[in-house]
Chains A and B, each alone.
Chain A
């Protein structure tokens, strides 16, 4: 194994990064509210993301109630249903997952894991959160304007998104677009921080190839976000102008309710290209941090080094690069040139290569490991299984001829929920169970955690496996009510009701999880220092939770990678990154004989 030989003593170079001049808070306001400490910003980001995510969760319950028991709930009108679909999608993808992985885990873990005292631009980092909060508030405000929030579907395709037949086509869509623009501005501020901190402010000995894979995942995802969000930003500006000023960027000549509108000459397909140029990298903006985090969780809880570290890094980078040339596989039925479909199907299937590499490496990390079935490990294993499932259905949708009949059916819904909804969120849960002791100094309750895990994991399959079948039968998505057709039979209706019941139960389990967090923050069992016996720097701080400035007087010096578990000859089964090779307790040679 090439990777394990990193034990060899290396002379660590002199400090190149100047000591950071930290901003010290003087009052309650600057310590807890307008705080420049990345750890507090991380918790602010995480809390806001989870709060808006709860809104998204409740919207999904309402949608499921309508699908499972049509004609039962009078308050769910067709318009409201479409609005719930739209808001649920947008909230979950952008305001929950992107913000939680990058703003939440990114802020908390980047400085700690690379051995920095804080982000390089703490003030800009703070602004990033407040602009994100503003974006969330604008989004929420759209629930309360005349006409309600946009009902255009989370993809917001024009021309329908701004035509009066679509719910929320007035103020709703404009607020949505403005909120997105603010989100992007805020994210850019944070994203620049993450990238520069990782590239330029690592501690002594922390080469890029010694960084934990969590950091690699977050880093690559941030780069993707910085390059992909501009397309959404520009299309948000252009659609706002189309809606407010009556320009025709995306609007062709169009007749609405028998009346010729003033629009003409725009290109609706342009929006789809721009949207998916952002939208596909967005999938990996969510998935890559999950890949990185899960690699670390598996390694720590299986007491074994990650298999093929270099391969994992290159796979992350490769997936990131490829994700920019696959976007039109979302547009096979948009009427674009069919030769495009051939190109994009090919690139899409090529992505399976680095992704499969990662799955093999995760599995090989577990192989002959000392697997501890802790909650983070359970969630990580669940992630691998779920991700493989989602990847396999991706093969169906990536091929043009198979995709065309499956387009806009429940199969698509099941696929992307499995691969970019359930899979990353399982990692989020695993990561919270793993890092909660670091963030709060207390353990989460294990019994509630086990309940949460099994209900969520098994429940997700009860929801989404039948949904694939519904899609094959031809049940369309985004339909308020299916009604009577020759192919929608009674079993289909019962299956829909079954999915709804499963979804409500899984939703309930999330409430247990939130309850667990709230109770454990105050009354949880106090965590010992480094309870999982992890090697990476965030666990080697002087105090738990780490204080202002993260590390003590001396910044840590790194001598090895983050995966020195079960090293032959060492007494402990883990060697932290910052332990000098001479200080590693070795089994005496005599005992070895």
Chain B
């Protein structure tokens, strides 16, 4: 995209000021968002929709936590890990969160090197991001199996309200699914970047415009979103 495309058809003098100008810009010729490629626009709108899904999950969690008559388990006890001869509360979750936030950092770097069309570094950073994501999912598996071992089930648990297990498995499961899908696609995109598909404009599944690494940017949006959701899940489940 060249700079000339940023102008909106009519000369700048024709554009009204203030709120009407905002409307005129948004409603202008051909594209509402200038220099935003289709994949990116689609990803933003999808994430908006997905935000509603996770919001609904979390609102439902808060509602059942209030509606249940049984005492809610104490998170710092349930999620404690016995290490070095002591129960350390939330240690696993702290590590998981740290890893996921770190992966957001490497993803941001990957997007940056994608803008510069640096094939090798982009691939490397995408793979690091995917591995960090995979280790997050691995730790989640560990956490799940530990809880299942201790008798936590979707329909009940020894610590208190049965809704604890239900909401925990459902919401972290849904988030874990998002991370897993993200990891899978990170690997696919990394492979395509490595092979140079985006440099030659190769056709096929999950491509982008020739000569751009657009998909890396869309992938980055998704990954940051998944991280952001985790921050909310972390706050509502482990700190409340």
Give residues in A with beta carbon < 8 Å to B. 10-18, 21, 120-121, 123, 188, 191-193, 195-196, 199-209, 226-231, 233-235, 237-238, 241, 245-249, 252-253, 262, 264-267, 270, 274, 277
- The proximity string for B residues 34-57 relative to A, scoring 1 for CB distances below 8 Å and 0 otherwise, is 101010011001101110110111
Q: A208 contacts which chain B residues (CB < 8 A)?
A: 26-28, 32
**Residue contact B31 to A266, C-beta cutoff 8 Å:** no
Say if the beta carbon of B162 comes within 8 Å of chain A: yes
Selected contact of B34 from candidates A16, A193, A209, CB within 8 Å = A16
Query: When A195-B45, A247-B155, A266-B67 are in contact, do A234 and B30 touch as well, CB less than 8 Å?
Result: no
Q: Which one of B30, B31, B203 has the highest number of Cβ atoms from chain A below 10 Å of its Cβ?
A: B30
Selected contact of B70 from candidates A207, A265, A270, CB within 8 Å = A265
**Residue contact B29 to A18, C-beta cutoff 8 Å:** no
Can you name 28 A-B residue pairings with CB atoms under 8 Å?
A: A11-B10, A12-B29, A15-B30, A16-B30, A16-B31, A121-B42, A192-B45, A192-B46, A195-B45, A200-B32, A200-B41, A201-B38, A203-B30, A205-B29, A206-B29, A208-B28, A227-B48, A230-B52, A230-B53, A233-B56, A234-B53, A247-B162, A248-B163, A253-B69, A265-B162, A266-B163, A270-B67, A277-B56
**Residue contact A238 to B33, C-beta cutoff 8 Å:** no
Q: A17 contacts which chain B residues (CB < 8 A)?
A: 30-31
Q: By the criterion of a CB under 8 Å from any partner CB, how many residues of chain B are at the interface?
A: 48
**Residue contact B155 to A245, C-beta cutoff 8 Å:** yes
Q: B33 contacts which chain A residues (CB < 8 A)?
A: 199-200
Alpha-carbon gap, A235 to B52, bound state (A): 12
Q: Known pairs A227-B52, A247-B170. 15 more at Cβ < 8 A?
A: A16-B29, A121-B38, A196-B45, A200-B36, A226-B45, A227-B48, A230-B55, A235-B56, A241-B166, A241-B170, A245-B154, A247-B155, A247-B162, A264-B162, A270-B67
- The proximity string for B residues 156-196 relative to A, scoring 1 for CB distances below 8 Å and 0 otherwise, is 00000111001100100010000000000000000000000
- For residue A215, give the distance in angstroms from its CB to the closest CB of chain B: 13
**Residue contact B67 to A265, C-beta cutoff 8 Å:** yes
Q: Label chain A's interface by main secondary structure.
A: loop
**Residue contact B31 to A237, C-beta cutoff 8 Å:** no
Query: When A241-B166, A270-B60 are in contact, do A202 and B30 touch as well, CB less than 8 Å?
Result: yes
Alpha-carbon gap, A205 to B33, bound state (A): 15
The 7 closest A-B pairs by CB, nearest first: A13-B9, A265-B68, A208-B27, A230-B52, A247-B166, A267-B67, A230-B53
**Residue contact B166 to A248, C-beta cutoff 8 Å:** yes
Alpha-carbon gap, A249 to B60, bound state (A): 8
Across the two chains, which residue of chain A brings its CB closest to B46? A192
Query: When A208-B32, A247-B166 are in contact, do A234 and B57 touch as well, CB less than 8 Å?
Result: yes
Q: A270 contacts which chain B residues (CB < 8 A)?
A: 60, 63-64, 67
Q: B205 contacts which chain A residues (CB < 8 A)?
A: 123
- For residue A548, give the distance in angstroms from its CB to the closest CB of chain B: 17
Across the two chains, which residue of chain B brings its CB closest to A205? B29
**Residue contact B162 to A248, C-beta cutoff 8 Å:** yes
Across the two chains, which residue of chain B brings its CB closest to A20? B38
Selected contact of B69 from candidates A192, A193, A265, CB within 8 Å = A265
**Residue contact B8 to A13, C-beta cutoff 8 Å:** yes
Alpha-carbon gap, A245 to B52, bound state (A): 25
Say if the beta carbon of B7 comes within 8 Å of chain A: yes
Alpha-carbon gap, A524 to B178, bound state (A): 51
Alpha-carbon gap, A125 to B163, bound state (A): 38
- For residue B222, give the distance in angstroms from its CB to the closest CB of chain A: 13
Alpha-carbon gap, A10 to B11, bound state (A): 10
Selected contact of A13 from candidates B29, B64, B155, CB within 8 Å = B29
Selected contact of A199 from candidates B41, B52, B60, CB within 8 Å = B41
- For residue A26, give the distance in angstroms from its CB to the closest CB of chain B: 14
Say if the beta carbon of B4 comes within 8 Å of chain A: yes
Alpha-carbon gap, A246 to B33, bound state (A): 47
Query: When A245-B155, A247-B154 are in contact, do A18 and B209 touch as well, CB less than 8 Å?
Result: yes
Alpha-carbon gap, A203 to B29, bound state (A): 8
Alpha-carbon gap, A238 to B53, bound state (A): 12
- For residue B221, give the distance in angstroms from its CB to the closest CB of chain A: 13
Q: A277 contacts which chain B residues (CB < 8 A)?
A: 56
Query: When A241-B170, A246-B155 are in contact, do A230 and B56 touch as well, CB less than 8 Å?
Result: yes
Alpha-carbon gap, A241 to B168, bound state (A): 13
Query: When A13-B9, A262-B155, A270-B67 are in contact, do A207 and B203 touch as well, CB less than 8 Å?
Result: no
Selected contact of B38 from candidates A200, A227, A231, CB within 8 Å = A200
Alpha-carbon gap, A228 to B51, bound state (A): 11
Q: Which one of B10, B31, B38, B155 has the highest number of Cβ atoms from chain A below 10 Å of its Cβ?
A: B38
Alpha-carbon gap, A213 to B210, bound state (A): 35
Query: When A202-B31, A234-B60, A264-B69 are in contact, do A196 and B26 touch as well, CB less than 8 Å?
Result: no
Q: B155 contacts which chain A residues (CB < 8 A)?
A: 245-248, 262
- For residue A2, give the distance in angstroms from its CB to the closest CB of chain B: 13
Q: B41 contacts which chain A residues (CB < 8 A)?
A: 196, 199-200
Query: When A16-B34, A200-B33 are in contact, do A226 and B170 touch as well, CB less than 8 Å?
Result: no
Q: B45 contacts which chain A residues (CB < 8 A)?
A: 192, 195-196, 226
